A and B are shown apart, each in its own frame.
Chain A
Amino acid sequence: MNSAPHILVIDDEPQILRALRTILTEKKFKVTVANRGEEGLTLAATNPPDIVILDLGLPDIDGIEVCARLREWTQVPIIILSVRDGERDKVAALDKGADDYLTKPFGIEELLAHVRVALRHSAQLQGRKESVVKAGDLVIDLARYIIKRGSVEVKLTATEFKLLAYLASNTGRVLTHRSILTHVWGEAEADHIEYLRVYMRQLRKKLEADPERPQFILTEPGIGYRFISDE
């Protein structure tokens, strides 16, 4: 990406739009804004952005639907903005193809961090896929099925590996309960959140220095999990 990354912000609040436009332009992004869902979809089609920041509470069409309609033709990273307690909407948008979420009000550093993760992820999608993921003293070789903590190899069960592999190949992204369950256990088990709770505890015990205060496998309350690796 040679030129400045292009961010499309879809939000109906003029104050937020004004602030984001000012701050993101200052941070060397190219910014386009839309305050309606339809307008955002048109802008995304005529001038494809590198990232979409989308508010879920739009006056004309539901933000979740905007996600779904964008996903019909583009894999552009979508970061959704939502209010606290909007877990249900967040999960719905993530399941419809959004990549990440931020809860209003958020700090600008937080937003920039999420933008960076999203850009890196879309670069990975386009280019080569890393088969070795490093996180702290942890090295995960997805192709060779080898996991090491420092120099010690960690033994995982089949399900634990499948779970870790899915997390690690989506590093930095939020993965909803449903998407993890579907991917690891299959569609029929998509509601068995307790599988995740138990297996995540097992994984953390094997991989984290302090399983009660995890550094790599983070819980996203009410949403799912996120794997954090080194940059």
Chain B
Amino acid sequence: MLSRFRNTPRLVLNYLLGLLTFSAATGILYLLRDILDTPLIALLFLLPVGLNTAYWGLGPGLLTALSAFLCFNYFFLRPYYTFAVHQTSDVVVLIVFFVVAIVISQLVGQARSGQAAATARESEATKLYELSTALAGWQDDQSIARILAEHTLQTFQAERVELTAQSKIQNIKLALPEGIAVSSRKPELLVPLQTVRGTLGELRLWRTQPLNQPAEERLLHTFASQGAMAFERAWLTQTETRAKVLEESDRLKSALLSSVSHELRSPLATIKASITSLRSGNVQWKSSAREDLLAAVDDETDHLNRLVGNLLDMSRIESGALKPQRQWNLIGEIVGGVIARMRQAAEYHKLDVQIAEDLPLVPVDYVQMEQVFDNLISNSLKYAPPNTTIHVTAQKQNKGTLLVKVSNQGPTVPQEHLDRIFDKFYRVTDADRVTGTGLGLSICKGIIEAHGGHIWAENLPDGFAFNFTLPLTLDGTPPPHLPVDSETI
């Protein structure tokens, strides 16, 4: 069936071969004419009919049947060499032969074309199976497009395949084989990529040979619909992921909003209450009470200022605007400055700094690193019991990084919370609500990561520690050397 339109020379060859087989058979039978009975010859003549149909197809078979009928009459029925028939029994033999020959060639021919169709369907099914296996599991539309185009190109032996698909999110355009100039010709075949929701795109094929109806056309359409379904699946997954991300960011925003409004209002409430009390003329405040109220206002103002600063930093980190101005600095100087400023806050604790003299210069943003130390030490002061020591150490590691540790003798944190304490607004216990903004540690994480470092928390046998690493090179370069100095003035 398939070869009927495609290969005319092959068809002619089939007929020739059929005739050749038949002539050979006739020749042999002619030589044996005197030995064999007429009915036996008729029977033997059916042999080339059946063989020809089986090997060369229905057409050559039918031709053989007709030729056999004529030759049988001409060469083997008396009187020989005429188409006239004298005996009635011979007429019957001739008619039966003709009918049987036709029926045999028909039956064999049908079986043959049935087998061809089955083979074609099998290869169709195989190709479809290959396509759907290749498409399965891909969620990314670029890969789907490539697989679909590659399979179409191979299966249909096209010169060129072009694929276009549009979703709300993006447009895909792909042409195979790559590197071939766009054909000036219009594509011979256009198949829409259709799903229930509508047309997603189009598959264009350049192929001079027309499709074999209907099997190839059916296969092409099945390819297109398989592809369309794969695209649809991929895009639905993408939409779902996007929706999840949006939902998550929405959830964070409302957490931020509720935390912010709570955090901002509490100091404002204190300030407002204190100030209105002091202003009201009805009460004569004792100087100590007056001092307390004013101290509360002062503290709460600082708290509010810190909070606003933290919120700004957080939004900068999240929008990627927190770009560290990395310069060569001494960690010791940074820690020293922070501790000097915290002296009052740390009056009930001991602070112990162990930073080696020969520690190299570290490429960091001075102000941001101050903030990291400030937040980590403040956090330690908050949880470590009074009269305990907070240790700050920094040492060079082999891998060209600096390891900084801020440890305290405070309570440990359950293992499952260790990673999450750097999350925004994450609190280990509800009691933590009282102080802080819930942002300090996540700002530290943002700053350290912007520096190319890594921060983590760990429980110690007798306390708790924050660790972070910092690279000791700036864009791959080590610390610079200083100019030579004369010894004395």
Whether chain B is bound by chain A comes out as yes
Q: Which A residue sits closest to B338, measured CB to CB? A: A221
Q: Which B residue sits closest to A145, measured CB to CB? A: B489
Inter-chain contact B336/A197, CB cutoff 8 Å? no
Inter-chain contacts of A107 with B (CB < 8 A): 298
A198-B330, A198-B482 in contact; A213/B336 too (CB < 8 A)? Answer: yes
Q: Which B residue sits closest to A213, measured CB to CB? A: B340
Q: How far is the CA of A71 from the CA of B340 in the complex (A)?
A: 35
Q: How far is the CA of A221 from the CA of B366 in the complex (A)?
A: 7
Inter-chain contact B333/A197, CB cutoff 8 Å? yes
Q: Which of B309-361 contact A (CB under 8 A)?
A: 309, 312, 325, 327-330, 332-333, 335-337, 339-340, 353, 361
Inter-chain contact A105/B482, CB cutoff 8 Å? no
Inter-chain contacts of A194 with B (CB < 8 A): 327-329, 361, 479-480, 482
Inter-chain contacts of B329 with A (CB < 8 A): 193-194, 197
Q: Which of A191-231 contact B (CB under 8 A)?
A: 192-195, 197-198, 200-201, 211-214, 219, 221-222
Inter-chain contact B488/A212, CB cutoff 8 Å? no
A185-B483, A193-B328, A194-B479 in contact; A221/B489 too (CB < 8 A)? Answer: no
A155 located at the interface, meaning its Cβ lies under 8 Å from any Cβ of chain B in the complex: yes
Inter-chain contacts of A157 with B (CB < 8 A): 485-489
Q: Which of B254-305 contact A (CB under 8 A)?
A: 298, 301, 305
Inter-chain contacts of B340 with A (CB < 8 A): 213-214
A84 located at the interface, meaning its Cβ lies under 8 Å from any Cβ of chain B in the complex: yes
Residue of B301, B305, B325, B366 with most chain A CB atoms under a 10 A cut-off: B366
- Shortest distance from the beta carbon of A74 to any chain B beta carbon, whole Å: 31
Q: How far is the CA of A170 from the CA of B479 in the complex (A)?
A: 30
Inter-chain contact B333/A201, CB cutoff 8 Å? yes
B367 located at the interface, meaning its Cβ lies under 8 Å from any Cβ of chain A in the complex: yes
Q: How far is the CA of A162 from the CA of B336 in the complex (A)?
A: 24
Q: Which A residue sits closest to B328, measured CB to CB? A: A194
Question: How many A residues are at the interface, by size bracket?
Answer: 20 to 34
B159 located at the interface, meaning its Cβ lies under 8 Å from any Cβ of chain A in the complex: no
A194-B479, A198-B482, A213-B340 in contact; A219/B488 too (CB < 8 A)? Answer: no
B370 located at the interface, meaning its Cβ lies under 8 Å from any Cβ of chain A in the complex: yes
Inter-chain contact A213/B339, CB cutoff 8 Å? yes
- Shortest distance from the beta carbon of A100 to any chain B beta carbon, whole Å: 18
Inter-chain contacts of B312 with A (CB < 8 A): 85
Q: How far is the CA of A157 from the CA of B487 in the complex (A)?
A: 5
Inter-chain contact B332/A222, CB cutoff 8 Å? no
Inter-chain contact A219/B361, CB cutoff 8 Å? no
Inter-chain contacts of A222 with B (CB < 8 A): 325, 366-367
- Shortest distance from the beta carbon of B300 to any chain A beta carbon, whole Å: 12
Q: Which B residue sits closest to A177, measured CB to CB? A: B327
Q: Which B residue sits closest to A160, measured CB to CB? A: B485
Residue of A105, A107, A193, A221 with most chain B CB atoms under a 10 A cut-off: A221
Q: Which B residue sits closest to A88, measured CB to CB? A: B325
- Shortest distance from the beta carbon of B356 to any chain A beta carbon, whole Å: 13
Q: How far is the CA of A224 from the CA of B339 in the complex (A)?
A: 18
Q: How far is the CA of A197 from the CA of B482 in the complex (A)?
A: 11
User: Which one, B301, B305, B330, B370, contacts A221 given CB within 8 A?
Assistant: B370
Q: Which B residue sits closest to A103, measured CB to CB? A: B305
- Shortest distance from the beta carbon of A155 to any chain B beta carbon, whole Å: 6
A139 located at the interface, meaning its Cβ lies under 8 Å from any Cβ of chain B in the complex: no
- Interface 1/0 per residue, A41-55 and B, CB below 8 Å: 000000000000000
User: Which one, A87, A159, A201, contacts B332 given CB within 8 A?
Assistant: A201
A193-B328, A194-B482, A213-B336 in contact; A156/B488 too (CB < 8 A)? Answer: yes
Inter-chain contact A214/B367, CB cutoff 8 Å? no
Q: How far is the CA of A130 from the CA of B68 in the complex (A)?
A: 137
- Shortest distance from the beta carbon of B388 to any chain A beta carbon, whole Å: 20
A161 located at the interface, meaning its Cβ lies under 8 Å from any Cβ of chain B in the complex: yes
Inter-chain contact B489/A156, CB cutoff 8 Å? yes
Q: How far is the CA of A84 from the CA of B302 in the complex (A)?
A: 13
Q: How far is the CA of A84 from the CA of B367 in the complex (A)?
A: 11
A113 located at the interface, meaning its Cβ lies under 8 Å from any Cβ of chain B in the complex: no
Q: Which A residue sits closest to B487, measured CB to CB? A: A157
29 CB < 8 A contacts A-B: A84-B305, A85-B309, A85-B312, A87-B367, A105-B301, A157-B486, A157-B489, A158-B485, A158-B489, A159-B486, A160-B485, A185-B483, A189-B483, A193-B329, A194-B327, A194-B328, A194-B361, A194-B482, A195-B483, A197-B328, A197-B329, A197-B330, A197-B361, A198-B482, A201-B332, A212-B336, A212-B353, A219-B337, A221-B370
Query: A-side interface residues toward B, CB under 8 Å?
Result: 84-85, 87, 105, 107, 145, 155-161, 185, 189, 192-195, 197-198, 200-201, 211-214, 219, 221-222
Q: Which 5 A-B pairs have the closest CB atoms?
A: A194-B328, A222-B367, A212-B336, A158-B486, A159-B485
If A107-B298, A194-B482 are given as contacts, then 18 extra A-B residue pairs at C-beta distance below 8 Å, sorted by A number, are A84-B305, A84-B309, A155-B488, A157-B489, A158-B489, A189-B483, A193-B327, A194-B361, A194-B479, A195-B482, A197-B328, A197-B329, A197-B333, A198-B361, A213-B339, A219-B333, A221-B337, A221-B367
